[in-house]
Amino acid sequence: MWWKDSIVYQIYPRSFQDSGETEFPNDGFGDIPGIISRLDEIKDLGANVIWLSPVYKSPDADNGYDISDYYAINPKFGTMRDMEKLFAEAKKRGIKIIMDLVINHTSDEHEWFVKSRDPQSEYRDYYIWRPGKTDKRGRRKPPNNWTGFFAGETWEYDEQSDEYYLHLFDKKQPDLNFQNQKVIEEVKKILRFWLDKGAAGFRCDVINIIYKTSLANGKRSLTVQGLEHYKSQEGCHAILQELRRDVLDKYDCFTVGETVFVDIEDAKLFSDESRKELNMLFFFDHLEVDRRVARFIPKKFRAKKLLQMITKWQQGLDWNALYLENHDQTRIVSHFGAAETDQTADGKPGILWQRSAKMLSLFQMTLRGTAFIYQGQEIGMTNFDYSSIDEVNDVESRGLNKLMTKLHIPASLRWKWIKASSRDNARTPMQWDGGFNAGFTKGKPWLAINKNYKYINHVSQKNSPDSILSFYKKLISLRKTIKCLSCGDFTPIYGDQWIMIYQRKLDDETYIVALNFSSNSVIIPAKYAGLLKGTQVISASSEKYEDYLMPWDGILIRK
Ligand code: NOJ
C-alpha cells in the first residue's frame, strides 16, 4: 500500500503562497497557482502526497471548513481549471493530492441549507431541524442542552419555521443529517467527483461525529456536552463501511479520519483494515499531555507521560497517522520545544529553538505510521507573536473569549489561555524568505506574519546543511531507506520528566531513539546507558553522544 511509506505535506491554502494571479490579485490570501509555484519545494523536501485543506467555495466563517459548494473552487484560491492544473503538475512530480472532506456540516449558504429553511422542501431533512422547548416561565429554549465545539450554542432558532437547527460548530455550519440516506448518496457523489478528477483520497473532517444517534440531553461536561449521543456511533461505522464499499474501494486511494475525543477502543474499530472503514486516523492524546480541558489550559509537561501516550497508540493500533502540527494546533517547537524560551524580543531565535525543532522531527520520523508534516513545520515556524485578541481571527478563539468573559475570567488569564491554544498560532503565513511580507504576498496578508520571518524562513534554510529543513530532508530519506523506522515494532524503554528512550525493531534490525525535552544536559540512567551503544545515525545537535544528552538533543542509534 503506497500510502504506508508516504510522507504527506499539509497545505493550508490561505496561508501558503499568494501568487497574485487569481481573480483577486495580491489579495493577501494564498491560492492554487501559488501552490503550483511551490511544488518543487515540496518535492525537494521528500513529500509525495499533499493534503489540501479546503479550497471549495465557502463564505469562510471557519476558513473554508464551511462549504457552500463541494463542486466549485473558492475564487480567492482560483478556478477549477487551476485545480486541474494543480493535479497535473503535482502528478508530473510524483505527488498525489488528498482533499479535505468536510461532511459533518455545510455552510448555511449551501443551496441545500438555503432550501431546507422551507419546512416543505425536500431538503428539510438534509439537516437536523427540531421544535424548541419552553422553560417554566414559558420562555423558548433549544431542543436540548448540548454545547458546541466553539464554546457556544449548538442550536439556532429560525423565525420562519419556528424551529431550531443543529450546529455543533459555528451557527454558519449547520450539521447534515446522516440518518437520511439521500445525504449519504450526496457524499458518494462528492467522493466520486474528486476521485475522478485525480484525488488520491481524503482527510475526513471530524468524521467520527457525523451520525447523531439521539438528540437527548447530554451529561454535564466542561467541554462539549452531548458528545455521548454522537461520538463514534454504530451508525457512523456503518456509513464509513458503505462509503468504502460503494466508492473508495473502487479507486487507488486512502482515507485519514480526523476523530475527535477518540479513545483507543473506538480507534481500533475505525482503523482495523478488516472492517474497511478508515485507513488511518488522527487522534489527539499526545498533544494534550500538557493540557487540560481538551487543549485549552496548559499544565506541566512530562516526557514520561508523552511516552506513555505514544506507546498506547503505537502498540494499540496496527497503523498510525503521525502528526505534531496541523492548522488547528499550536506550533510544535513552541509547544514541546524551546522556541518560547529561546527567542529575543525581536523574534531572533537561538540554537535551542533549532535543536529542539530537529529533536521533535526525529521523534515524529522514528514512529510507526504515515508521517504528516504541516507547512512551516519543516523550517521550525513558531506560534504567533500577537499581543491582543483583536489580532486573532480564529472563530474558535473568539468563541472561547466570549465564554470566558461571560464566566468573569480576568482579561490577562483569557489572553494567556488563548495565546496557548489559538489555532491562529499555526495559521500565520508561510515564511518563504526574509523580504517583503516574508515572500508570502505582495498585498496585505489576511493574517499578520510573525515578525521572526527575518530569521526563520525557507530560503535561508534551503542551502544550509545545518538547518531544520535539511534535517527533515535527511530524516525523510532515512525513513524511506530504513523500513524499520516506518514499519518496525515500537517498544518504550525509559521515560522521566525530561527524557524518553524507545526502541524500534524489524526482523534483525534494531534502532534506539533517545530524546531530551529540556534545556538541561541529562545523564542517561546507568541501567540504560549500554543500550545507547551502537552506531549513531543522526543527532539533533550534530554532536556525538557520550553518556549524556545535551539540552534538547535527540539521537538515533543503530544497534
Ligand atoms: C476540524 C477542522 O480541522 C477545523 O479547522 C474545523 O474548524 C472543524 N473541524 C470544523 O469543520
In this predicted model, what pLDDT tens digit does every residue of 122-181 receive, in sequence order?
Answer: 999 999 999 999 999 999 999 999 999 998 899 999 998 999 999 999 999 999 999 999
Answer yes or no: is the C-beta of 207 below 6 A from any ligand 1 atom: no
Which cell numbers hold the place of 213? 444517534
CA of 205 to the centre of ligand 1 (A): 6
109 is catalytic: no
Q: How far is the CA of 64 from the centre of ligand 1 (A)?
A: 9
Q: Ligand 1: distance of its center to the CA of 87 in Å?
A: 24
Q: Which of 60, 328, 329, 374 to mutate to test the pocket of ligand 1 (most atoms within 8 A of CB)?
A: 328
Calculate mean pLDDT across residues 527-542: 95
Which is the catalytic residue, given 175, 205, 242, 266? 205
What's the confidence (pLDDT) of residue 119? 97
> Cα–Cα distance between 194 and 70 in angstroms, integer?
9
- From 96, 68, 73, select the one nearest 24 (Cα to Cα): 73
Q: Which residue, among 19, 35, 12, 32, has the nearest Cα to 443 in the 3D structure?
A: 19
Q: Name residue 49's beta-bridge partners.
A: 8, 96
Rg of the chain on CA atoms, in Å: 23
Closest by CA position to 73, among listed 88, 61, 83, 63: 83
Does the C-beta of 170 come closer than 6 Å to ligand 1? no
- 205 noted as active-site residue: yes
Residue 100: CB within 6 Å of ligand 1? no
- The residue whose C-alpha atom lies closest to atom 2 belonging to ligand 1 is 205
Contact 121, 222 (CB under 8 A): no
Of 196, 154, 147, give the one whose Cα is nearest residue 175.
154
Crossing angle of helices 303-316/264-271, nearest 10°?
40
Q: 206 CB under 6 A from ligand 1?
A: yes
Is residue 169 within 6 Å of ligand 1 at its C-beta?
yes
Q: How confident is the model at residue 294 (pLDDT cuts 50, 70, 90)?
A: low
**More reliable by pLDDT, 359 or 343:** 359
> Is the Cβ atom of 205 under 6 angstroms away from ligand 1?
yes
Instruction: Please report how many Cα atoms fall inside a 13 Å half-sphere around the Cα of residue 155, on the Cβ side.
Output: 23
Q: Which of 60, 258, 328, 342 is catalytic?
A: 258
Which ligand 1 atom is nearest residue 326's CA? 3
Cell triple for 429:
503565513
Helices 181-197 and 80-92, packing angle to 10 deg:
60
Instruction: DSSP letter for 105, please.
Output: B
Find out whether 459 and 434 touch, Cβ atoms under 8 Å.
yes
**Confidence tier at 277 by pLDDT (50, 70, 90):** very high
Set of cell numbers at residue 255: 482515507
CA count, 13 A, side-chain hemisphere, 51: 28
Q: What is the DSSP letter of 260?
A: T
Residue 296 has pLDDT above 80, yes or no: no
Ligand 1 atom nearest 105 alpha carbon: 11
Task: Provide the 8-state DSSP code for 134.
Answer: E
Q: Which residues contact 441 (CB under 8 A, 6 or more apart)?
A: 18, 20, 26, 27, 28, 29, 30, 429
Residue 60 is predicted with a pLDDT of 97
Residue 108 · residue 175 · CB < 8 Å: no
Give residue 170 CA to ligand 1 midpoint distance, Å. 10
Number of Cβ within 10 Å of residue 382's Cβ equals 27
Q: What is the pLDDT of residues 387-419, one digit of tens each?
A: 999 999 999 999 999 999 999 999 999 999 999
Percent of the chain topping pLDDT 90? 95
What is the per-residue pLDDT across 300-347, written as a single tens digit (0 to 9) for each?
Answer: 999 999 999 999 999 999 999 999 999 999 999 999 999 988 889 889
328 lines ligand 1 (CB under 6 A): yes
Backbone angles phi, psi at 523, to 5 degrees: -85, 135
CA–CA gap between residue 365 and residue 262 (Å, rounded): 23
Burial of 535 (0-12, 13-18, 19+ CB in 10 A): exposed
How many other CB atoms are there within 10 angstroms of residue 91's CB atom? 13
Which atom belonging to ligand 1 lies closest to the Cα atom of 150? 7
CB-ligand 1 contact for 424 (6 Å cutoff): no
- Residue 65: pLDDT band with limits 50, 70, 90: very high
Would the CA dihedral through 291, 295, 298, 304 be positive or negative? positive
- Range in 252-256, 344-348, 354-358, 534-538 the model is least confident about: 344-348
